[in-house]
Amino acid sequence: MCYVEKPVMSIDSQVATSIEISLPQRVYQRELQEKGTMKMNEMWTTTGSTLASFMFLWTIMRQYCPYEVRRFFQKYTHRITSYFYPYIRISFHEYMGDRLERSEAYAAVEAYLSANSSKSAKRLKAEMGKDNTNLVLTMDEYERVTDYYEGVKVWWVSSKVMSLTRSPLSDYPEEEKRFYKLTFHSKYRDILTGSYLEHVMREGKEIRLRNRQRKLYTNSPGYKWPSYKQTMWSHIVFEHPATFDTMAMEPEKKEEIIEDLVTFSKSKDFYARIGKAWKRGYLLYGPPGTGKSTMIAAMANLLGYDVYDLELTAVKDNTELRKLLIETTNKSIIVIEDIDCSLDLTGQRKKKADVENEEDVVGRKEGKEERGSGSKVTLSGLLNFIDGIWSACGGERLIVFTTNYVEKLDPALIRRGRMDKHIQLSYCTFDGFRVLANNYLKLQTHPLFDTVQSLIGEVKITPADVAENLMPKSPLDDAYKCLSNLIEALEDAAKGEELKQTSPIKEEHEELLQQNGSIKENGELPGDKVTDQAMNQCQR
């Protein structure tokens, strides 16, 4: 066999050969890259143009295309995409329809997610919890969290949309419509729409009850509210410490009121059986400083109710008054303080026609201007607010009126059935003084109590005045000093009442003298002298 030896190439020749081969390859690869880049740019350009055209057509269709045509396209588009999208979405809106009241389902979901989302959510909202001790964390807007139920994975999203009905020329901000969206796979429809949602509602209500803070609400003038869809109440945490134990009142009367309140709070079935709305009216009347506002706080603390302080002069009309009623929650006390001063509700619908016509022709225009700028709430509107059809929305509500002058109110406003229980809060008695002495001085008995008892039954002094005299004014004031201040105040009040009793006699005497010749001349009256009968009347 013959062997042919192959020539051995040097290293330099091998490198030169590889360079000759690699140069065309590199040029070819570069050409391919440039072509790929051009194709990619063309693709993105085409995609961008297509999307821009689609968005333009979509905007035109939304603004100018009839609703029926848009609805037709949406209907069939949804049907087509549903074949390829295997997930189901459920929305829980804060307000449904025309938003007469906040959705209980939304509130339950919010509470449920506040307890279960803090570990997985990256954006949270924080607020003080019950008793201002712990922070309560809730999902922030547009946040997404994951939940598991019996091995099934679901997603919750907190969202909001802006209303599209706002006029471009409106000064009011756009309305926010908040909602939670639940997403899950369609094959778990039965278990999630059944037991899982029941679990969320049950847990959410329990969490709300556990974290519930009693609140004090107030309303503001209607023209200041930027949107019909926003709440008409603002609130702070209710922290008033008053209780029935600290109220200056006779024990029997106090026990009667407590029993009435507790019985009402447990009478849901009873009110349903007799066919009445679960509400009760209380009229608190008496002189200023007798504890009417304190009574309201004690009622709220006893029952654990929220308090709605309704300022009637800030309510624009009867319609707005009805909206305020609708937005109140169950387990609440709706309060109108000093109702005799709030509006022209004092009454007297039986005024004579001649009295009404006396003020008229010149002042009628001014009256119309005042009514145009002020509140237009009428007595009829307030009566419907108390016990009309709309008063039956919700339940477990107390409606409380306070007044210093009950005789000024229209009888229709305070009749039984509207104001079911009338509670008179009068001047301080010795029993009330003992409660205040225990509150302020921690005294059950004292040698000066007998003096106080003898004086307090003879004068009219309010619990507020008694409390002010019992309050120590300096660290050196002891119980004896405070009681002495009270005794001095009682003695001054007794002297003042004596002067009030004698002043009418003097005025009557002077009036009789004026009737018989008002001025003496040289010690004698120029006309008929005062008769013995008139003098005897003055002496009496």
CA–CA separation, 462 vs 432, rounded Å?
Answer: 10
> What pLDDT is attached to residue 493?
87
List the domain boundaries for the chain.
23-80, 86-162+174-213, 218-347+373-424, 430-515
Q: What is the Cα 36 distance to its own chain's centre?
A: 64
> What pLDDT is attached to residue 263?
97
Q: Residue 456, CB half-sphere, CA atoms under 13 Å: how many?
A: 23
> What pLDDT is attached to residue 183?
92
Taking residues 246-262, report their average pLDDT: 95
- Please give the C-alpha separations between residue 443 and each of 254, 394, 438, 462, 468, in angstroms, as whole numbers: 20, 45, 5, 20, 16
Q: Residue 442 above 80 pLDDT?
A: yes
Strand partners, 215: 237
> What pLDDT is attached to residue 130?
64
CA–CA separation, 393 vs 409, rounded Å?
Answer: 26
Question: Positive or negative, the Cα torsion across 268, 270, 275, 281?
Answer: negative
CA–CA separation, 260 vs 42, rounded Å?
Answer: 82
Q: Residue 458 above 80 pLDDT?
A: yes
Taking residues 267-288, report their average pLDDT: 94
Q: What is the Cα 251 distance to its own chain's centre?
A: 33
Taking residues 197-216, report their average pLDDT: 89
- As given in the structure block, the two tokens for residue 266 are 């447990």
- Give the least confident one: 20-29, 147-156, 419-428, 430-439: 20-29
**295-350 pLDDT, tens digit each:** 999 999 999 999 999 998 888 888 889 888 888 989 999 999 999 887 666 554 54
**15-53 pLDDT, tens digit each:** 455 545 556 666 667 776 776 677 777 778 888 788 788
Between CA 333 and CA 181, with CA 215 as vertex, the angle to 5 degrees is: 110
Taking residues 216-228, report their average pLDDT: 64
> Long-range pairs for 83-91 at CB < 8 Å and ≥24 separation?
86/185, 86/186, 86/187, 87/183, 87/184, 87/185, 87/186, 88/183, 88/184, 88/185, 88/186, 88/189, 89/181, 89/182, 89/183, 90/181, 90/182, 90/193, 91/179, 91/180, 91/181, 91/182
> What pLDDT is attached to residue 28?
65
The pLDDT mean for the chain works out to 78
Residues whose CB is less than 8 angstroms from the CB of residue 103 and which lie 6 or more positions away in sequence, other chains included: 92, 93, 94, 95, 96
- As given in the structure block, the two tokens for residue 69 are 């045509």
Question: 3-state DSSP call for residue 260?
Answer: helix
Taking residues 269-289, report their average pLDDT: 94
Q: Residue 535 above 50 pLDDT?
A: no
> What pLDDT is attached to residue 228?
46
Please give the class, per CATH, of domain 218-347+373-424: alpha beta
> What pLDDT is attached to residue 528?
45
- Give the least confident one: 97-111, 180-194, 247-261, 337-351: 337-351
Bigger pLDDT: 55 or 427? Answer: 427
Maximum C-alpha span of the chain: 182
| Confidence bin at 517 (pLDDT 50/70/90) | low
- Please give the C-alpha separations between residue 419 and each of 163, 287, 332, in angstroms, as whole numbers: 42, 19, 16
Most confidently predicted of 118-132, 437-451, 503-517: 437-451
Taking residues 470-497, report their average pLDDT: 90
| Confidence bin at 352 (pLDDT 50/70/90) | very low
CA–CA separation, 30 vs 25, rounded Å?
Answer: 8
Q: Residue 494 above 80 pLDDT?
A: yes
Q: Residue 196, CB half-sphere, CA atoms under 13 Å: how many?
A: 19
- Could you write out the DSSP letters of every residue in 453-466? HHHHTTS---HHHH
> What pLDDT is attached to residue 167?
47
**Residue 255: which H helix or E strand, with range?**
helix 251-265
CA–CA separation, 446 vs 364, rounded Å?
Answer: 63
Bigger pLDDT: 71 or 288? Answer: 288
Most confidently predicted of 180-189, 371-380, 506-515: 180-189
| Confidence bin at 384 (pLDDT 50/70/90) | confident
- Give the least confident one: 33-37, 70-74, 286-290, 512-516: 512-516
Q: Residue 167, CB half-sphere, CA atoms under 13 Å: how many?
A: 5
Residues whose CB is less than 8 angstroms from the CB of residue 302 and which lie 6 or more positions away in sequence, other chains included: 243, 244, 258, 261, 262
| Confidence bin at 522 (pLDDT 50/70/90) | very low
> What pLDDT is attached to residue 446?
93
- Give the least confident one: 63-77, 208-222, 376-390, 513-527: 513-527
Q: Residue 107 above 50 pLDDT?
A: yes
* Percentage of the chain lying above the pLDDT 70 cut: 73
Q: Residue 375 above 70 pLDDT?
A: yes
Q: Residue 189 above 70 pLDDT?
A: yes
Taking residues 360-371, report their average pLDDT: 44
**Do 315 and 222 contact (CB within 8 A), yes or no?**
yes
